[in-house]
Amino acid sequence: MKSNHGRIGLKSLKVLSFIASVFLLLHPRSGFASFGVTSSSGGYIVNNGANLVFTVDSAGDMPSCKYKGVELNDTQKASCLASGFGASSVQASVQGGVIVITCVSKDSEFVNCTHYYIVTNGLDDIFMATYPTVEPSVGELRYIFRGQYNLLPNGPPDSNNNGNTGAIESSDVFGHANGTTTSKYYGNERAHILTVKGATGSGVGVFTAFGNRESSTGGPFVRDIENQGDGSGGDQEIYNYMNSGHHLDLTIAGELEAFRVNVLHGPYAFCFTTGSTPSVPNMNFIANLGLTGYVGSSGRGRLVLNGLSGMNPNYTYTMGFNNSVAQYWQQLGSNGSGECYNMKPGTYNMTIYKNELSVWTGSVTLTAGQPTTLHTITITDDPSTTPTIWRIGDWDGTPLEFLNGGNIMYMHPSDVRESKWGPVNFTIGQSSTASFPAVQFRGTNSPTTIWFPLTSGEAGASHVFKIGITDAYNGGRPSVVINGHALSNPGASTQPEARCFTTGTYRGNNTTFTWTIPSSDLINGWNSITITPISGSSDLSPWLSASFSYDCVELDQ
């Protein structure tokens, strides 16, 4: 009779091999380059099976992150949510080729907040998602990868504070010996054009893929901190901000909005490369992981807009949606048509934007599993259709066409690269739009004087004068004098209470100030208007003074 010992031995070896594989997956040996996770001091060490080994500690923070064996994380400060998560529990699970670290916090700042670290076998990406139940007491939700500056020195230049000569404003805007300025507030992109952003060094790069912004705040044109580099401090900080108090959290309609809670923020990712900028990684696999608050594609709908009537072909149009649960946006085609996908069901405020200016508002209800179709919308609120005697700039919700307007996002207004702010004398029909100031500072470039001719017929009638602004600081609003006659002073507009023009943003609440100029104040021939900011509060400096950014200035027929 033939012995069965050989067959039994083979089966036993297969069983033992399987048991060993499972053990190594959950408890890889130190330095053993295989996919797996092992417990460590109340947290876990994760090996992604490729080039990443990182630690999530018992607080839910990441104090160590090694790429190809080199420690990239700051050795003094952990990478973390906000300023530290304060987890009450940290648990690991393995789902096929995916490791999920689930951190839950009962810290006073993050009551019952859940944060996830996720890796897939062989991919050098750390995926994350965050489910908050309350607004963090610090007033912002962000994840910071705290890299070592000497290993990742090549970050975005506008936010690279290395070699600065000291702070020139507060403790977050810095000057340099050559007269330039840098800050973590500068160079950040608007949400609707966010790209992968990060820093590199010799043979290494770390990048944020910002992911789904549906649970964030601010709408399509909000910008927030993406990076801060400082060689003297040793840090290269790479961020994903989901909301903050940086004067930046506005709804799609331009009003302040509340932080979204009890919804999943993300997923988003930190991507590690040999230095090249990666593509946005595919995050669809996360749908199968059972994350709290994750809404799959079957639970979502989409909006189809057939077109717009009354478009200005010189501008790009965007449709935006928001409610207390989510926000979405989609750039429209040349005929105003477009589709917005993967929207949670519900009723949304809907806004049509001409560039960044709201020109139509309404509401729409989305249903899961099927499209909602809107027929052609007629634009009703574009102020550019009003006949004028003259107009400086155009109504588009930005000051970008004006003097130094394109620099607001990238530098402090005192930067040596700025053109001289003024005071400006502007002559209708002679001066270029680019010579009119983007921002009117009470302490720096006031007044702005506009010279314009009127015929006898025009001077013999009253006219409406308008100043549109996109934002204001310190309660700044325009005081107007026409040919020596003061017009009534308006009240302050409603704006976020924070710095704006010195921290890289012109995006506030669009406001139009309107006056009726009587014919008795007008002259047949050359007339003058002077504009100066007023405020009920004193100024802190020439730049931190009562101010506002222009959208458009016009005299109507």
Q: pLDDT for 319-356, tens place per residue?
A: 999 999 999 999 999 999 999 999 999 999 999 999 99
Give me the chain's average pLDDT, please.
92
Spatial neighbors of 235 by CB under 8 A, at least 6 apart, are 74, 77, 146, 147, 148, 149, 228, 229
**Residue 548 DSSP SS3:** strand
pLDDT reading at 92 higher than 70: yes
Spatial neighbors of 190 by CB under 8 A, at least 6 apart, are 220, 221, 222, 223
| Fold of domain 23-288 | Beta-galactosidase; Chain A, domain 5 (2.70.98)
**Average confidence (pLDDT) over 34-41:** 96
Give 110's pLDDT tier (boundaries 50, 70, 90): confident
pLDDT reading at 19 higher than 50: no
pLDDT score, position 8: 38
In this structure, which long-range contacts are made by residues 459-463, counting pairs with CB atoms below 8 Å and at least 24 apart in sequence? 459/519, 459/522, 459/523, 459/524, 459/525, 459/527, 460/519, 460/522, 460/524, 461/519, 462/516, 462/517, 462/518, 462/519, 463/389, 463/516, 463/517, 463/522, 463/555, 463/556, 463/557
pLDDT score, position 11: 41
**Residue 487 DSSP SS3:** coil
pLDDT score, position 246: 65
Q: Where in the chain are all domains bearing CATH 2.60.40.1120?
A: 297-378
DSSP 297: G
pLDDT in tens, 171-227: 999 999 999 999 999 999 999 999 999 999 999 999 999 998 999 998 999 999 999
The per-residue b/e assignment along 433-444, b for 16 or more CB within 10 angstroms, e otherwise, is eebbbbbbbbbb
Which of the two residues, 19 and 145, has the higher pLDDT score?
Answer: 145
Phi and psi at residue 520, in whole multiples of 5°?
Answer: -65, -20
| Fold of domain 383-556 | Jelly Rolls (2.60.120)
pLDDT score, position 497: 78
What is the enclosing helix (H) or strand (E) of 54? strand 52-56
Phi and psi at residue 421, in whole multiples of 5°?
Answer: -70, -25
In this structure, which long-range contacts are made by residues 87-92, counting pairs with CB atoms below 8 Å and at least 24 apart in sequence? 87/58, 87/59, 87/60, 87/115, 90/42, 90/43, 90/44, 90/56, 90/57, 90/58, 90/60, 92/37, 92/39, 92/44, 92/46
pLDDT score, position 85: 92
Percent of all residues in the chain with a pLDDT value above 90, rounded to a whole number: 85
Q: Where in the chain are all domains bearing CATH 2.70.98.10?
A: 23-288
Is pTM beyond 0.85? Reply is: yes
pLDDT reading at 357 higher than 60: yes
Which of the two residues, 15 and 457, has the higher pLDDT score?
Answer: 457
How many angstroms separate the CA atoms of 153 and 373, rounded?
Answer: 49
How many angstroms separate the CA atoms of 20 and 26, rounded?
Answer: 10
297-378 is a CATH 3.40.50.300 domain: no
Q: 546 vs 174, 420, 500, 543, CA distance in Å?
A: 22, 19, 11, 8
Give 366's pLDDT tier (boundaries 50, 70, 90): very high
Give 57's Cβ-side CA count (13 Å radius).
14
pLDDT score, position 23: 40
Give 28's pLDDT tier (boundaries 50, 70, 90): very low
How many angstroms separate the CA atoms of 335 and 331, rounded?
Answer: 11
**Residue 254 DSSP SS3:** coil
Task: Please report the beta strands in 124-279, taking only residues with DSSP state E, as ranges in sequence order.
Answer: 125-131, 141-148, 166-169, 173-175, 181-183, 197-201, 204-209, 227-230, 235-243, 265-273
Give 256's pLDDT tier (boundaries 50, 70, 90): low
